Amino acid sequence: MTTISQSVRNFESWLAGKLGGDLVEDDLREKHEKMRSDDFVFLRATYWRWCEIILDIRPELAGAPEVLAIGDTHLENFGTWRDAEGRLVWGVNDFDDAAVMPYALDLVRLAASAILARGGDGPSVRMIGELILGGYRRGLENPLPVILERDHKWLRKALMLPNSERREFWEKYKTLTPGKTEAPAAYTKALADALPPGSGPFVAKPRSGGTGSLGRPRFVAYAEWQGGPVLREAKALLPSAWSLRHRPQDLAIHAGEIAGGRARSPDPHYSVSGRILVRRLSPNSRKIEIDKHPEVLLSPTMLELMGFEIANCHSDDASAAAAILQDVQARGPEWLHEAARAAASSVGAEQKAYARGQ
């Protein structure tokens, strides 16, 4: 197995080969600093490495039924959007690394992220596994989008921004600094096509965001429409790191397919065109961050609901969901927290090695 430092160099060489002059090198330097900061951020930043090592850590997971899965699952990979009926919906909102893989990997990665993020105050490792697995079973048996208009009032309350923060949100994007050069034409066109007809003029401005996707170009369009501001974001998509490692014959982009699955009420402004993802940004499209609200993300209710939502994403094929449920039952109650503990321990060791420059 390569060292983590060599793995980083290998992956970023591949990234540079794919993106060429569009590679955002300043973002990569920011990413390296984040990777040295703590274990949870390191996990978020290094999905390709997870793909390299997880089946060495827990080889028994390779035999789990395969499904079109999320891939880069973690505590901060959930957020809100408005569906076609204008309802506030919560669920997974990042499918950049979606690929066909053993279903169990989404659960193990989520549980490992909770273990790494909990510090000394969060739920036990066993409880994390039990909650996520319990929610997942419930979702497989009865998949259903998580709509916040009537149910889950506690979550709606945690996610809604006060008026002062809504103003700050719009002001941040209105005053975003333009890039040193014009955005590539493909991103400008994707943004223009995604804005409402009759929107005012805009300049496609670069934006740094996320952790795992740092280095990929990302642009936003802020425009005026019908008396108020509107925002769209366009960012580069690449084949999933899982496919690169384990299914090189499948280099398709699966983000749009899983986002629009039968058990979800999707964001109508989330679309994939070629290798560019476009989505709407708004104060209603946000996530909860672990450093601001660990008590929410690590609460038993939230962990159970995250497991439920993963099942929603896995339930597009009803026959596959039935096979997965049988496999979950056959594995018994211990496997998830044991696999997550081992994965978290490996990630923590690699983070320390990377921070030391090894």
Cα–Cα–Cα angle for 347, 350, 355, rounded to 5 degrees: 125
Structure tokens at 318: 């009803």
Give the helix/strand (H/E) hosting 3: none
Task: Show Cβ contacts of residue 29 under 8 Å, excluding neighbours closer than 6 positions.
Answer: none
Statement: residue 219 has pLDDT above 90: yes
Q: What is the pLDDT of residue 286?
A: 80
Using CA atoms, how far apart are residues 145 and 150, in angstroms rounded to an integer? 12
Average pLDDT estimate for 277-297: 88
Tens of pLDDT along 136-192?
999 999 999 999 999 999 999 888 888 888 899 999 999 999 998 999 999 999 999
Average pLDDT estimate for 251-270: 95
Tens of pLDDT along 302-318?
999 999 999 999 999 88
Q: Quote the domain boundaries for residue 181.
A: 4-355
Q: What is the pLDDT of residue 210?
A: 83
Using CA atoms, how far apart are residues 219 and 158, in angstroms rounded to an integer? 28
Residues 131-163 as b/e (b if ≥16 CB within 10 A, e otherwise) read bbbbbbbbbbeebbbbbbeeebeebbebbeeee
Statement: residue 119 has pLDDT above 80: no
Q: How confident is the model at residue 284 (pLDDT cuts 50, 70, 90)?
A: confident
H helices within the chain, ranges in order?
Answer: 4-19, 25-35, 39-45, 47-57, 104-117, 125-141, 153-159, 163-174, 185-194, 241-246, 255-259, 294-297, 300-314, 318-331, 335-355
Nearest CA-CA partner of 276 in 226, 330, 216: 216
Q: What is the pLDDT of residue 64?
A: 97
User: What is the tally of structural domains in the chain?
Assistant: 1
Nearest CA-CA partner of 204 in 1, 217, 214: 217
Give the helix/strand (H/E) hosting 89: strand 88-92
Bridge partner list, 221: 232
